[in-house]
Chain A
Amino acid sequence: MAKPGTPLFLERGSYRQRRMMDAVKLIAILGAGLWMIPLLWPTAEPGTAQAVSLSQALLYVFGVWWFLIAIAYVLARNIRDMPEQSDETEAM
């Protein structure tokens, strides 16, 4: 829903800002997806050899964590100077 008066196409800077917003919105979904992957792991039944070891699980969960923090950091840096603009409805 474009508001009257907002341009149809944005200049390069604003365009990048918009894509950063999109990334911010997606990152939580990505994180949720990655953290739910352990649900697919085989659980430790007696006799199953492939059970994921706790250290691996630990590394995976914390790896995802680090990854999310890094992305969030980069995105926050990029949109920090974003002017207060009422682009929300357009962007939602």
Chain B
Amino acid sequence: MASLNVLVAVSLAYVFLLFCVAFAAERAGVQGRAGWLLRSPLVYTLSLSIYCTAWTFYGAVGYAARSGLEYVTIYLGPSLVIVGWWWILRRLVRIGRSYKVTSIADLISSRYGKSNGLAIVVTVMAVIGVTPYIALQLQSVTASLSIFIAAQHGSLAESGDAHAAGLWISVGLALFTVLFGTRNLNVNERQHGVVIAVAVEAVVKLIALLAVGVFVVWGIAGGVSETLARIDASSLGTWQMNGSRWAALTFVSAAAFLCLPRMFQVMIVENDDERYLQIASWAFPLYLMLMSLFVVPIAVIGLDLLPAGSNPDFFVLSLPLSQGQEGLAMLSFLGGFSSATSMVIVATLALSTMVSNHVVMPIFLYLRQGGATQSGDVRNVVILSRRLSVLAIIGFGYIYYRASGGSGALAAIGLISFAGVAQFLPAMLGGIFWRGATRAGAFVGLGVGFSVWVFTMLLPSFGPGAALSVDTFANGLFGLGWLRPQALFGIPGLDPTVHAIFWSLLLNGVSFVLVSLMTFPQPLERLQGAQFVNVFDHSGQTRGWQASVAESEDLMIMAQRILGAREAQRLFQAEAQRQGRGDYLPEPTADFLQRLERELASSVGGATAHAMISQIVGGSAVSVQDLLAVADESAQMLEYSSQLEAKSRELSQTAAKLRHANAKLMQLSDQKDAFLSQISHELRTPMTSIRAFSEILRDTDGLGPLEKTKYANIIHVEAIRLTRLLDDLLDLSVLENGQVTLNQQSGSLVDVLDQAVATAEASEARSIAIKRRRLEETVTLHTDLDRLSQVFINLITNAQKYCGSDTPELQIVVQRAGDSILVDFIDNGSGIPVASREVMFEKFSRIGAEDAAGAGLGLAICREIMTRLGGNVNYLDGTGGTAFRVTVPGRQALAAQ
């Protein structure tokens, strides 16, 4: 006869064993030993079994005793989900691993642009949805204890004892969770101790349930066929199924399997290898199947054998006890205990991560702005906040358990919780399959679904008159008939559970989709959406944090989209040069990335720029295409401004042209003023001499004949100088007005040059050595030879006047170019400054103010003449001295004229 003390001792020993196992696993994990066990698909599959809580361990039998086969839907949903792992789980696991997702709240908030508001909403919903579930576990353990006590003492134990037991169990669970669940800050560092303990408990509860089942089928009923016969003979004997419940419960259990924070923790966060899913795809359904295999037999036999009024929820315990199988009952108790504790530990762990990451830490960081720069400091705060969260959540569970006082069937509470967390489903699936899902959609969908769930399922569960008034049940909220909690929109007749599941998820999904369609996501949301939805396109190869040159190319492409090709190339080239890499792409050093980010930030804003760079360089798996999509959008925004820029550029170009023209006009105007001064000077200077000497001749008595002759001669020379000046002016004027008549003759270039050289030498005092190659000059010309000679004379005298060399020398080079003849006059002077070349052929133009000798008409005349002759005269660059090229057209050119 096992006493209660023995039971307590065995329980404590079992707990101690769990602590040891967890501790050993933690040690082994830290030392890197036993990886084959810690990271094995077996442990992974077993850890999934926290799906089977005390509710399923005890409650399933009760459920079956009340509703026949309906209990099995709770297992069918998860079986389908994991058998169809390819569809959803594989994607979730990949996303979870690629983006270091820490919880379902983190997943949803990351997907929708790292919105912490969304994370808080999900966290709060999860806490509200799961806390009753934790209370349920505490209740089931204390209740199972009281079954033992009742069996021993023949009466139910004092409720005070049960509450004390509940408290001690809570404390123990909190201790365990704090010890093994919050050791590591990084959620991606696996909580080996917890996982192994959970796996051990999974084995214990399976063995316990199987043992009871085997005992019932073979020990009591006497075999399989007898059992089946007894089943058919029982009150549950025929198929009595509400079809809508069958489908709805299968669906909601599948949804909960995905959305329950604890399931997300073990399935996604603690997953080491995607391939474990393949093993789990058959192993976990097998586990579930075995867990549910003996439920109906136990229920039927229990209904048969146990006295009426026994709580069917605890047939698993009371049946062996009634048959005197104390040991089996003990094992069964440990199974239930395992189910409850493993669920509480993992659920608390998952919730505490969410609460601490999304509620406590943001508040902490907000309160200590800027003070959070010391990293060690913050790490401690995170761990502390996680531990406090654990205590708070288990505390909530205990308070709820005390407050609810163990009311209601276990299954009811479980289903309410399932339906509550299932509200995450639209936002989660929409987030990972549909790029169009937006944050606003997720907010509204979650809000609507949660509100409907609270109104139609949670509040009514307390019974009419408790949370909702009887009047509300009968006539709807605010007396509105269509707001009856169990007949929304005036559609009665649905099963309340189906009604709540159907309406909450339908309205949730519809509002999520509608709002998503109507709103526009922010860039970060779009980026995250693209990554999550297309997670398989990119995460095939793992990229390190060290960026490679290949990524430089990606960066370059992206930068080009945002900065424009030229600017981006300039930036990259400058960097490559700075790194001494020549024409290759630069290494994406931290320095360069920072600079690039700043550049990008100026175009698309800091946050986006940061995200873009870190996505490319950080090894996270967004494709360049995705970034470009966002970049294109930015480009569209930038297009308008770039159009404006182009216009202003055009304007400034026009302005520059105008300025240029104006400068030229000013220059010409200045030259005109200078020319007028010059003309005045040129005219007045000879006149001064003429006047002065004529007055001397007139007024001075006693001049000798020699002096008279001398002064008369001066007057004569100056008069000739005046005449020549006037001739030049007239000549230019005639040429410009096109009134000149050309006197076409044929002649040899040699003769023309001979004549020109002779004339120039005669007229100019300063001499210059002239080098010619007469052989090349034997070319027959047909043109106005006199005018051509005038041009030559002008060029030669210019060289004589302005050469400036100590040993002045002029080379005359003749060559043919097609039909034309080129005559170059090259001296060894200092050349013409570039600025002057443009204007020196203009009339009135003089090079240098100090050249007093010329009126600046010579070159203007030359150009006019050559234009008339169908040729040209140009400054010849690159000879070292001052050089002019006269282009004389050949016969054809002339004939064609």
Contacts and interface: CB of A to CB of B under 8 A. Distances in A.
Direct contact of A and B (CB under 8 A): yes
Interface of A: 21, 24-25, 27-29, 31-32, 35-36, 38-39, 41-44, 51-59, 61-62, 65-66, 68-70, 72-73, 75-76, 79-80, 84-86, 88-89
Interface residues of B, number: 40
A58 B289 contact: no
Given A27-B84, A36-B246, A54-B69, 14 more contacts: A28-B80, A35-B250, A38-B243, A44-B240, A52-B238, A54-B234, A54-B239, A56-B239, A58-B296, A61-B76, A62-B289, A69-B289, A76-B279, A79-B278
B241 A43 contact: yes
Interface string B275-295: 100110110011001000100
Contact of A86 (B232, B238, B540): B540
Contacts of B87: 25, 28
A69 B234 CA distance: 30
A27 B79 CA distance: 11
Nearest to A41: B239
A40 B666 CA distance: 100
Interface in B216-246: 228-229, 231-232, 234, 236-241, 243, 246
A28 B85 CA distance: 8
Contacts of A28: 80-81, 83-84, 86-87
B72 interface: yes
Task: Tell me what chain A mostly uses at the interface: helix, strand, loop, or mixed.
Answer: helix
Contacts of A29: 84
A17 B796 CA distance: 93
Contact of B239 (A57, A68, A72, A84): A57
Contacts of B281: 24, 72, 75-76
Task: Tell me what chain B mostly uses at the interface: helix, strand, loop, or mixed.
Answer: helix
A61 B295 CA distance: 13
Contacts of B285: 65, 68-69, 72
Residue from A38, A79, A89 whose CB has the most chain B CB atoms within 10 Å: A38
Given A28-B80, A65-B79, A86 B243 contact: no
Given A61-B72, A80-B275, A84-B540, A55 B83 contact: no
B536 interface: yes
Contacts of B240: 43-44
B68 interface: yes
A68 B79 contact: yes
A55 B231 contact: yes
Interface in B75-106: 76, 79-81, 83-87
7 contacts: A25-B86, A36-B247, A42-B239, A55-B228, A55-B232, A73-B282, A76-B278
A79 to B, nearest CB: 7
B537 interface: yes
Contacts of B289: 62, 65-66, 69
Interface of B: 68-69, 72, 76, 79-81, 83-87, 228-229, 231-232, 234, 236-241, 243, 246-247, 250, 275, 278-279, 281-282, 285-286, 289, 293, 296, 536-537, 540
A51 B84 contact: no
A49 B238 CA distance: 10
A55 B296 CA distance: 9
B239 A39 contact: no
A38 B536 contact: no
Given A32-B80, A58-B69, A76-B282, A24 B86 contact: yes
A86 B79 contact: no
A39 B236 contact: no
Contacts of B282: 69-70, 72-73, 76
Given A69-B285, A72-B83, A89-B537, A38 B238 contact: no
- Closest CB pairs A-B (n = 7): A28-B84, A72-B282, A44-B238, A73-B282, A88-B536, A52-B239, A55-B228
B204 to A, nearest CB: 22
Contacts of A65: 79, 285, 289
B254 to A, nearest CB: 9
B293 A38 contact: no
B52 to A, nearest CB: 15
Contact of B83 (A36, A42, A52, A68): A68
Contacts of B239: 38, 41-44, 51-54, 56-57
A58 B68 CA distance: 10
